[in-house]
Amino acid sequence: MSVDFASTPRVIEFAPIGDIATGFLTVAELQRDIPFEVRRVFWTYGTPPDVTRGGHAHYRTRTVLVAVSGKIVVSTELVGGAPLDFVLDTPSRGLYLPPLCWRTMKYTASAVQIAFESTDYSEEDYIFSMDEFRGMKNPSG
C-alpha cells in the first residue's frame, strides 16, 4: 500500500463573512481551502467530555476537522514525530490531518465536529494499534 509521509498537520483558516449583529457564514471551497477532493463527510456530536474519540491513523485518508460548535482538543502524532496538540473552538478554523497522523479528540459537551475526508470508508485504511503505528518507519527521515 502506498503511503504519504510528506505532510504535517496544519491549521486552516476559513474566512468568516458577516458581523456580530447579523451573524456569520463561513465558506470552505475545494482545492482552495480543503486540499483534496472530498469523498466522505461525517459529524460527531453528543460526546461526553470524559470520552476520548479517535485513537487511530489512516494509511491514505486525508482529513479536515472543524468544530462547528463547542471546543475540541485534537492530539496528533506523525510517524517518528513529536506529539502536537491543536484546539478547535471556532467554526472559521479547521485542522488538516495528513495520512499516517495518529489522532485523538476530546470534546466539550456542546461540541459538534464535522469531518471532511479524501476517501470512502475502508476498514483496511485504519491503523488502530498505537504499537503498530509507532513501529512504522518514515522513509524520508
Averaged pLDDT for residues 17-36: 91
Q: Kindly state whether residue 66 falls inside one of the protein's structural domains.
A: yes
Number of domains in the chain: 1
Per residue in 86-136, pLDDT (tens digit) is: 999 999 999 999 999 999 999 999 999 999 999 999 999 999 999 999 998
Tell whether 16 is covered by a domain: yes
What are the backbone dihedrals phi and psi of residue 22, each rounded to the nearest 5 degrees, phi first?
-115, -10
Sorted by sequence, the CB contacts under 8 Å of residue 141 that are 6+ apart come out as 80
Quick check: is 141 in a domain?
Answer: no
Q: pLDDT category, 141, cuts 50, 70, 90?
A: low
Instruction: Give the residue from 54, 36, 58 showing the smallest Cα distance to 118.
Output: 36
> DSSP assignment, residue 79?
T
Residue 4 placed within a domain? no
The CATH number of the domain where 98 resides is what?
2.60.120.10
In a domain, 140, yes or no: no
Residue 14 lies in a domain: yes
How much is the pLDDT for 47? Answer: 97
Rounded average pLDDT over 31-40: 91
Asked if residue 1 is part of any domain, the answer here is no
**Residue 33 pLDDT > 60:** yes
- In this structure, is residue 63 part of a structural domain? yes
Range of the domain at 87: 10-134
